[in-house]
Amino acid sequence: MRALAAAALALPGLSPARAQAAEDDEWSFQYGRYREGERDLFGVHSDFDPIEVDNLDFVGRLTLFDRVKVALRWVQDTWSGATPISTAPQVLEGNRPTNPDGVSGATPFLQGDVFLSSDFDPLEVDEFGSVLGTNPQLVHTLSSASPETRNQLDLDLGYEWDAAELRVGGGFSLEPDYESRFVRLGGDFDLDQKRTTLRFELQFGESDTTALLDHDAVPYIDTSFYAGRIESFPSTGRRRLEDDRQDWGAQLGVTRILSRDSWIETRIGYTRSTGYLANPYKVVQVGFIDPGQQFLAPPGGYYAQVRALLEQRPDERNQWTWDTRYAHYLERLDAALHVSYRFFHDDWGIDAHTLEASWGQPLGFGVTVTPRVRYYTQGAADFYEPWLLSQQAYQTIVTDPDTGDIVSITPFDRRLLPSEFSSDHRLSAFGALSGGVSLSMQLARGVRLDGGFEYYTHRGSLRLGGGGEGDFADFDSYLVSANLTLDAAALHAIASGVPDAHDGHVEHAGHAPAGVLLGHMLPAAGDWMVGLRTQWSRQDGDVLHGSRSASDADILARGCGGEPCTNAPDRMDMLMTMLDLMAAPTDWLNLMLMPSFVNMEMALRPLDGAAPDVHGSHDHSTGGVGDLSMFALFRLFDAPGHRVHAGAGLGVPTGAVDRKHRRTHQESRGYTHYGMQLGSGTWDFLPSLTYTGRSGAFSWGGQASGVVRLEHENDSGYALGDLFQATAWGGFALTRWLSASARALYTLQGSIRGEYDRPHDVSTPMDLPQNSGGQFWDLGFGLAAGVPSGFLAGNRLSVEWLQPLQDDVDGYQLERTGALFAGWSVEF
Amino acid sequence: MPATERSLASLLLLALLLCGCAAVAPWERGRLAEPQMALDPDAKQRALREHTHMSREAAAGSAVGAGGGCGCY
Amino acid sequence: MQHTRRAFSAMGSPCEVQLFACDPFAATHAADAARTEVARLEARYSRYREDSLLSRINRVAAVGGSIRLDPETASLLDYAAACHRESGGLFDITSGILRRAWRFRGGGVPDAAEVQALLCRVGWQRLDWSKPRLAFPLPGMELDFGGVVKEYAVDRVVLRCRALGVRHGLVNLGGDVGIIGPRPDGAAWRIGIRHPRRPSELIQTLGLHDGALASSGDYERCIVVDGVRHGHILDPTTGWPVRHLASVSVVADLCVVAGSASTIAMLKAEAGPAWLAESGLPHHWVGVHGEVGGSLARQRGASSRAARIGSTPRGSSASTGVSTPAST
């Protein structure tokens, strides 16, 4: 039979499927959360939270004109928590509790004195100066950072021929301290009747680091090596490191179908990086053994003064990788076994191996479960050192014996230190084992849900061949993710049958402007709608009291209740991203689920005449998962040209209300401003009543909606005020597919009830519950575009700008500048 | 007899036709086209896993592929 | 997504193409391309057309000459050679000449001498095939691609539609079915296998996401004489129709492979079922006495196995019926 099959393949035009099935057109949304466990600080309790990352990933892929492929991708990472800044002997007590309650403070202790034995092991010494014994234990010194958000946008274009594909793309990534731009070029070539595929990828990236050094630690860090690249700001005491790097990468691969049940792929890659390759937030602690100060040392031992230096890495890195992947199909189980191995080598002295295996097992009914396991091991970089010792003084100070004035300060000789050093545990020797499972559920209508979980442990002891870093560097982490994928082609098999497409006109009536929630009900039972909406709001300008601007003196005196304020809010931005999932189980009922994700940023300015703010920090940001809303919509009235529906919703308090300011010095600043929390913290009832009408090219509507808090306080001791909104709009269809709208909005917001139940800093009006709420009038202008027919039918894009007309605030609040709403949805 | 058998077969046929989502046996599909045999069965989840691994391991996937950006936490 | 169905007549059988495509123009374009491809192959290899390439080859064969073949015909010949080897000499594209003894549009059983005379001019080994030149040392032979071209056309059409971007659809040329892609919601196409003795009934229904299904049977163009059915598949070593299996259906990635496998199984008669089992391809066979077997056969109880065949033969053209709902 094989001979027949082989002979058949020789017939012109008949060739087997490519190993790489073409990616289907799709829209895909993914949320992931990564969280690390606590680092072992050997008895010290740290109030820092471990690293936590929320990741949002949206991708849209389309095929145009049969052969042109377009892919657009947006990724957002929001991360917060503590990371190690350095490693030091435990005896140095870098994570020393400073408050009586034994909580590890914000400033890592990077300086100090250490006694060493004759073998240079750290000694434990009691308060009387008696040596208790050696303690070689090392420990990470932790430092926290405020939440940061990274956004990345990628655009890729591809062109497909019968036996080849060419791709070009690029993108950029933005973070407060790091900006990256990259381009890439790639292609596939099919040979041997598509049994073999050759692939190449080329990539170039350029990145800029603009890092504000950890302002609590920076007074204690020696940055002299980077003198030319650091800019100092004496007024705020901040230092900023600016530098850049370039990365070139190339990859060549071959994929081959081995049999009807298996394929194999092998790739080699080379990457070259130049420029600033270090991490501006990592330091190496160096014990300086000053020959002139050894009289302080214990007998036979040494006395060292520990100082911290910003790490130094080579300014060039060449990396080689070799990957091999193999997949085998097992017929009896309908399962696929994937095995892969990667070898990594670079000129920093690191060799690493990765072995991964997964088993894809369909269970029937469209469900597939895939357990996987991974083992990783790496060696240490040549210049990796947990900490260093140097036989020289940190600095030699010469004083005038007569006057006592300092004559000269000679710093240490840099040439006596290694030219490169880093304590970053990523460059140490260790092994990591991880295991996880993914679940994939294919629903009808081209909708697929995926979920995944992975648990990861990083252990020095797991390193292949031993010699891994000590257990102080061990940590565990988990990653959990959920993904919704819509197969664009399958969706539109049904979308082209969507009613409401009168004469090919897009039905704009029944759709409200972008800023109105729940303005539209699905036309028929069995319909679905998936959408993505973002809202960006800004407050900027004057602080208002009632509807008038308040002067700084006024704010100072009365803005913070009985205590004088130190700062006033200067600017506040909020970006909220919402995923709308709507389904119509019957003709008269729609159900909707709306998870949200929030990022907030606030900048403060000092008030004229206020006492100087000891805390020194004027920027705050928070970010993470926001509240989840669930709605049921009921169709009350539906006649040609007029529709009325009512909604009853429930706000689920999934958004955090316990976000705190970053700790500075030895004080905890407690909860952040009320307006910077991510959710309401209470279960809320969300009623609404909506009317929409249409006549010819004109459409109009109105909505009354509210939020009623069902609890009188949340877990942090307060509850947001109730909300009432009334809005009315009119729209006009400019063309078959484009319409414009104008809207008026009135909002009545109640003040916050209760207050934080734990200590929190009151330095701006925003820290008081009475400075919230008020009445607000806005005018909105919007545009909406819908696709009436064709393979993109059912897609809709809308934007709206909400312009504040009048704010009448309770207490002292920052005035609003406006809000921009943008949304995309697809009905099917 | 033929009439009964015919209507039975027709009923069976109808039942089979309505059963659009019955689990299909392995031989009814092209094996290499099976989703679990794809070159990248769960691309986005894998991208996220590799992103987190990259932030904690030195052997980052070569810069090719995922694009720039640090996000190194 | 738009459903397009194009039914037409070609290669002596009812044919249809069903497609689902987002863009109506793409669907029409693909359906037209399908028809054009089938017409092209029919024009080249039909033995009923004087102006076809096959007729020209046979005119050369009649006088014992030689002819230089184009790449497509050459590969078809190579494929036929592979089938000849795989079947142990039973699949033979030179056996068409035996048909002259059997006049299926009427008449009775031929006499043995007539068949013997024709047998002298049958045999793949009697050809001189050295690509690209085909020579006929013995005059009076005749080639017939009928056992290959229809299935080859199915595969060509499937690939052509895929190349035009169609991802969902099927092609059915007189019962030889090729799947372009599953239905838009991911479900399989339901394909029925015709009962060899009861033409309006299906003996089995399969769900296919991908691949092809082809059948051979003794009920097409057959005559029944004295209660004995004589099909049109003739054993090239004896000259007589094979008589153990009533129908064979095979599923494979390519229709040509499925078609050749089903024909070879029919030719192997008693050894057919075992050969099919060994081939590893999913298959279904029905014996002339009503027994059913093969990896696809569903055991529906004693009644199906004990079923006796009805006696009235009905000559008809389609060996399998594609039973799918007409709309989304």
Q: What is the pLDDT of residues A341-365, one digit of tens each?
A: 999 999 999 999 999 999 999 887 7
Using pLDDT thresholds of 50, 70 and 90, give the confidence band for residue B17. very low
Helix (H) / strand (E) element for A693: namely: strand A684-695
| Residue in chain B lying closest to C188 (CA) | B20
To the nearest whole percent, how much of chain C has pLDDT over 70? 86
Using pLDDT thresholds of 50, 70 and 90, give the confidence band for residue A616. low
Q: Is the pLDDT of residue A95 over 90?
A: no
**In Å, how far from its chain's centre is CA A825?**
24
Check residues A175 and A345 and name the one with the higher pLDDT.
A345
Chain C within 8 Å of A493 (Cβ-Cβ)?
yes
Check residues A274 and A101 and name the one with the higher pLDDT.
A274
Q: Tell me the shortest Cα–Cα distance from B67 to chain C, in angstroms.
A: 30
Q: What is the pLDDT of residues A362-387, one digit of tens each?
A: 887 778 999 999 999 999 999 999 98
| A57 interaction partners in chain B (CB closer than 8 Å) | 44, 47-48
Q: Is the pLDDT of residue B69 over 70?
A: no
For every residue of C295-328, DSSP letters joined together read TT-----HHHHHPPPPS-----S-SEE----S--
Helix (H) / strand (E) element for A532: namely: strand A528-546
- DSSP, collapsed to helix, strand or coil, labels residue A89 as strand
CB burial class (10 A; 0-12, 13-18, 19+) of residue A366? middle
Average pLDDT, integer, range B7-19: 46
**C253 vs B33: CB contact, 8 Å cut-off?**
no
Q: Is the pLDDT of residue A631 over 70?
A: yes
Confidence (pLDDT) at A528 = 85
Q: Tell me the shortest Cα–Cα distance from A24 to chain C, in angstroms.
A: 10
| Residue in chain B lying closest to A445 (CA) | B21
Q: Tell me the shortest Cα–Cα distance from B20 to chain A, in angstroms.
A: 11
User: What torsion, rounded to 10 degrees, do the Cα atoms C121, C263, C160, C165 define?
Assistant: 180
Of A30, A32, A336, which is closest to B36 when you measure between CB atoms?
A: A336
| Residue in chain C lying closest to A497 (CA) | C1
| Residue in chain C lying closest to A791 (CA) | C22
**A458 vs B47: CB contact, 8 Å cut-off?**
no
Confidence (pLDDT) at A510 = 53
Contacts of residue C105, defined as CB under 8 A and 6 or more positions apart, other chains included, come to none
**A162 vs C163: CB contact, 8 Å cut-off?**
yes
Confidence (pLDDT) at A597 = 93
ipTM of the complex: 0.78
Q: Is the pLDDT of residue C99 over 90?
A: no
Q: Tell me the shortest Cα–Cα distance from B10 to chain A, in angstroms.
A: 26
**A444 vs C279: CB contact, 8 Å cut-off?**
no
DSSP alpha helices (H): ranges in B1-73?
Answer: 2-18, 43-54
Domains with residue ranges and CATH for chain A = 2-462+476-486 (no CATH), 498-827 (2.40.128.130)
Query: Are the C-beta atoms of residues B45 and A481 closer than 8 Å to each other?
Result: yes
Check residues B65 and A251 and name the one with the higher pLDDT.
A251
Confidence (pLDDT) at B64 = 43
Q: Is the pLDDT of residue A506 over 50?
A: no
| E strand spans, A161-214 | 164-175, 178-191, 196-212
Average pLDDT, integer, range A51-77: 87
Using pLDDT thresholds of 50, 70 and 90, give the confidence band for residue C303. very low
Confidence (pLDDT) at A647 = 95
Mean pLDDT of chain A: 85
| A376 interaction partners in chain B (CB closer than 8 Å) | 53, 57, 59
Check residues A634 and A760 and name the one with the higher pLDDT.
A634
Q: Is the pLDDT of residue C326 over 80?
A: no
CA nearest to A274, candidates A244, A240, A253: A244
Confidence (pLDDT) at B73 = 63
Check residues A587 and A480 and name the one with the higher pLDDT.
A480
Q: Is the pLDDT of residue A521 over 70?
A: yes
Average pLDDT, integer, range A170-197: 87
- Amino acid, single-letter form, for residue A196: T
Q: Is the pLDDT of residue B14 over 80?
A: no
* Phi-psi map region of A281: left, alpha, beta (phi>0 left; psi -120 to 50 alpha): alpha
CA nearest to C298, candidates B12, A366, A332: B12
Average pLDDT, integer, range A143-157: 84
**C253 vs B24: CB contact, 8 Å cut-off?**
no
Average pLDDT, integer, range A244-261: 88
Confidence (pLDDT) at A221 = 81
Neighbours of chain A (3+ CB pairs under 8 A): B, C
* Phi-psi map region of A774: left, alpha, beta (phi>0 left; psi -120 to 50 alpha): left
Q: What is the pLDDT of residues C155-207, one digit of tens each?
A: 999 988 887 778 889 999 988 999 998 888 777 888 888 888 877 788 888 88
Model pTM score: 0.67
Of A28, A251, A427, which is closest to B44 when you measure between CB atoms?
A: A28
Query: Are the C-beta atoms of residues A729 and A513 closer than 8 Å to each other?
Result: yes
